Amino acid sequence: MNAISDVPSTQPPVIAARDLTKTYTFHQQRAGLGGALTSLVRRKYETRLAVDRISFGIERGEVVGLLGPNGAGKTTTLKMLSGLLYTTSGDLEVLGFTPSDRKHDYLRRIALVMGQKSMLWWDIPAMESLLLHKDMYGLDKDEFEHNVAELAELLDVQDLLNIQVRKVSLGERMKLELMAALVHGPEILFLDEPTIGLDVVAKARVRSFLAEVNKLRGTTILVTSHDMDDIEALCSRVMIIDHGRLQYDGSLDELVRTTRPRKLVRATYATVVDGHRLTSLDGVGAVESSGQRVSLEVDRERTGDVLEQLTRLGPLVDLDVADADVEDIMRDLFARRSTSEEAS
């Protein structure tokens, strides 16, 4: 399910970044006692470029996925957008504010959910945290009760609100985290690995909830995730960051089309067939044939012809036509970059 909102093109972007850069300074220390003693008297400081002059704009209501391997700079970008970090250089404006100023009127309009960090008080029921947000965000009683009821129903957590947070499961906690983040109705929601560690059922629930929130409230969502199913389910647009640089910014479909222009066709037959006969057909790439199964890559415009040929190969039991797996695309993409860098 893609959550795509109609965005009037005349509106300014809610997030505008130009040449956004962030560097960190840290010291290196060799392992062992020798390294520890050396570091007592002399430390070698290094500066690391975490985000390197990236520029982008995000329109109101968009759901954008921020992708990249570990250490690519996506979480640092998210931290700058949410005001946790000062930028080293470049211009950044979110909802007309400079995030690092952390103005009340800015923080009132955003929310950040970190999959690996709890925003809720651990030892007390989630309702206490919600009530704190009521006061913090200045919600009146009716608005608060309406939002709590709506979100609790969407997330199916009515029975969890008065239980100590540490007593609920990880999936349930993530639902409560989302509830706490959304109870004040933020215009922008920043999500850092929102489904990390969740089982498939909980992941599906979180995804459908986020899609619903985007649809119902028009909330702009920027999400980082290593789970491509999250990205496919939610994002109309992806930004790929690698080594701090923006490598791709566009739709997921376009990314798939440009990196893997061929469709994947998988056919299963009632009897053993020889799929290698199809290799000679126009527009057919790699063919794998084993017993009753045939898999092949086909040019998009030739898919119809090839499917017709497949029906003549034998008694067809099952046929599946799909784009390349996004997970595979990402793995290839990052592996290729890493290899080319090692080579250079």
> Which positions lie near another protein, rule CB under 8 A?
24, 79, 82-86, 102, 104-105, 107-108, 110-112, 114, 116-119, 121-124, 128-129, 131-133, 135-138
Q: Smaller CB distance to another protein: residue 38 or 236?
A: 38
Q: Smaller CB distance to another protein: residue 225 or 289?
A: 225
Burial of 79 (0-12, 13-18, 19+ CB in 10 A): buried
DSSP state of 125: B
Q: Tell me the closest approach of the beta carbon of residue 117 to another protein, in angstroms.
A: 5
Hunting for tokens 């909830």 — which residue is that? 209
Q: Tell me the closest approach of the beta carbon of residue 105 to another protein, in angstroms.
A: 8
Q: Smaller CB distance to another protein: residue 121 or 248?
A: 121
| Residue 35 Cα distances to 30, 48, 183, angstroms | 4, 21, 49
Q: Smaller CB distance to another protein: residue 180 or 252?
A: 180
By C-alpha distance, which of 269, 280, 153 is closest to 209? 153
Q: Smaller CB distance to another protein: residue 88 or 303?
A: 88
3-state secondary structure of 337: helix
By C-alpha distance, which of 23, 19, 185, 181 is closest to 93? 19
Q: Tell me the closest approach of the beta carbon of residue 23 to another protein, in angstroms.
A: 11
Q: Tell me the closest approach of the beta carbon of residue 157 to another protein, in angstroms.
A: 19
Q: Tell me the closest approach of the beta carbon of residue 83 to another protein, in angstroms.
A: 7
Q: Smaller CB distance to another protein: residue 110 or 211?
A: 110
CA distance 341 to 73: 17
Q: Do 72 and 244 touch, CB atoms closer than 8 A?
A: yes
Q: Do 74 and 67 touch, CB atoms closer than 8 A?
A: yes
By C-alpha distance, which of 64, 57, 55 is closest to 9? 57
Q: Tell me the closest approach of the beta carbon of residue 112 to another protein, in angstroms.
A: 5
Burial of 208 (0-12, 13-18, 19+ CB in 10 A): middle
Q: Smaller CB distance to another protein: residue 93 or 325?
A: 93
Q: Tell me the closest approach of the beta carbon of residue 55 to another protein, in angstroms.
A: 22
Q: Smaller CB distance to another protein: residue 84 or 256?
A: 84
End-to-end CA distance of the chain: 41
Got the DSSP string for 57-99? EE-TT-EEEEE-STTSSHHHHHHHHTTSS--SEEEEEETTB-G
Tokens of 77: 């970008």
Q: Tell me the closest approach of the beta carbon of residue 213 to another protein, in angstroms.
A: 18
